[in-house]
Amino acid sequence: MELKKYLGLVSMIKIFYTSILLIFFAQAHANSLQQSEHRIAILVNDYMITSYDIIQRMKMNSIINRIEISSENDQFFMNSVAEQLIQEKLKNEKIKEYEIKIDDEELNSYEANFLLSINFDKTNLINLMETNNIKYSLLKDFLVIELSWQKLINTLYYRITSASNTEINEILSRNESLSANQAKNLVIQKQLDLNSSKLLRDMYNEATIEYR
């Protein structure tokens, strides 16, 4: 068998296998979705999160992370996804406040890097999501918020970050393959991540969050 045809067959098998993992989950929730798929589950300030939003995100996460959702772990993933969606509503609120914009080139580059990090071909991922009744735009919306949030954090905090020689040398001592500039960037990114977590935590504490 030609290598190209073999790789194509392997890719199709992976898609089929991952789809099978989701069948039980979809069937287990089918009745409840028919009755209340658009029921408001959480209010975050003036933003709504519906039960449908939660189910769709659970399915999307299970695909991109290659994790099987079953009756034993679905409550854990549901709680995790609810928390993720709450944070995204808060992030989006601050993104709008500062009027952060991203262009197509930035988004396409970020999307390509993301797909590479999860080891998925875009066409295969689109097909897999469509097989499980998930629009690819759901993932694109997630990427837009994450990229916009990164841009916001850089806008707010990058100019006040710094990397001392001590911090740089400490990283270099643990990884000699890095350059001094790479080590500096790691120090700065760590500071930006800390500022990001603090800002989100403050927003969370000030938010009005109501579970229905």
pLDDT reading at 22 higher than 50: no
- Rounded Cα–Cα distance for residues 163 and 185 (Å): 8
pLDDT reading at 14 higher than 80: no
List Cβ neighbours of 178 (8 Å cut-off, separation of 6 or more).
171, 172, 186
Q: How confident is the model at residue 5 (pLDDT cuts 50, 70, 90)?
A: very low
| Tens of pLDDT, residues 165-203 | 999 999 999 988 999 999 999 999 999 999 999 999 999
| Tens of pLDDT, residues 125-177 | 999 999 999 999 999 999 999 999 999 999 999 999 999 999 999 999 998 89
| Tens of pLDDT, residues 78-94 | 999 999 999 999 999 99
Is residue 152 a contact partner of residue 95, using CB atoms and an 8 Å limit?
yes
Is residue 127 a contact partner of residue 15, using CB atoms and an 8 Å limit?
yes
Residue 90 Cα distances to 23, 100, 149, 202, angstroms: 32, 14, 10, 10
Q: Which DSSP string corresponds to 23-84? A: HHHHHHTHHHHHHHTT-EEEEETTEEEEHHHHHHHHHHHHHHTT----TTTHHHHHHHHHHH
Q: How confident is the model at residue 99 (pLDDT cuts 50, 70, 90)?
A: very high
In which element (H, E) is residue 209 found?
Answer: strand 209-211
Domains, the chain, in order of start with CATH, read 3-93+102-211 (1.10.4030.10)
Query: Phi, psi (5° rounding) for residue 150?
Result: -60, -40
Any idea of the CA torsion for 127, 70, 91, 132, to the nearest 10 degrees? 20
Please tell me the total number of residues recorded for the chain in this structure: 212
- Rounded Cα–Cα distance for residues 145 and 45 (Å): 18
